[in-house]
Amino acid sequence: MQSKQEILTKVYEAFNRREMDAVLARMRPDVDWPNGMEGGRVHGHEEVRAYWHRQWSTVDPHVEPVRMEDDTAGRTVVGVHQVVRNLAGEVLMDRMVEHVYSIREGLIERMDIVEPDAHPHADSN
């Protein structure tokens, strides 16, 4: 079985190539995914597919993982350099974010986007 880091590296590579089926194949059928563009969350392969179709019809995102580590809760935290361009190629956003993954039995169960100033994956008492 591949490590979480190997799985996620392949997911980012496939996402950036717009190989949607390859990314969805790494997700649980009932995946819980953030809708970073419109707000809220989408659930399951078909909702994620529809969300990405809407996203890619208006912007061209590229996400490059720069670090990966597991937190104390067993989630995988990925520091991501995110560049979003409009369809004409102009940069709309260039920033660092964190993607926090829950992976079960080798498949992504949930992903959350954490803004640079927030750290919900840190232990709180």
The structural domain count of the chain equals 1
> Is residue 88 domain-resident?
yes
> Is residue 121 domain-resident?
no
Q: Average pLDDT in the 53-80 region?
A: 96
Statement: residue 95 has pLDDT above 60: yes
| CA 61-24-43 angle, 5° bins | 90
CA dist 15 → 51, 63, 64, 85 (Å): 13, 8, 10, 15
> Is residue 124 domain-resident?
no
pLDDT value at residue 48: 98
> Is residue 22 domain-resident?
yes
pTM of the model: 0.89
The CATH number covering residue 31 comes to: 3.10.450.50
Number of H helices, E strands in the chain: 3, 6
Confidence of residue 118 (pLDDT cuts 50, 70, 90): low
Confidence of residue 28 (pLDDT cuts 50, 70, 90): very high
Place of tokens 């004409």: 88
Q: Average pLDDT in the 15-39 region?
A: 96
Q: Average pLDDT in the 4-29 region?
A: 97
> Is residue 119 domain-resident?
no
Q: Average pLDDT in the 70-79 region?
A: 96
What percent of the chain has pLDDT above 70? 92
> Is residue 106 domain-resident?
yes
> Is residue 120 domain-resident?
no
Strand order in the sheet with 91-104: 41-43, 27-34, 107-114, 91-104, 76-86, 59-70
> Is residue 104 domain-resident?
yes
Find the domain containing 87 and state its range: 4-114
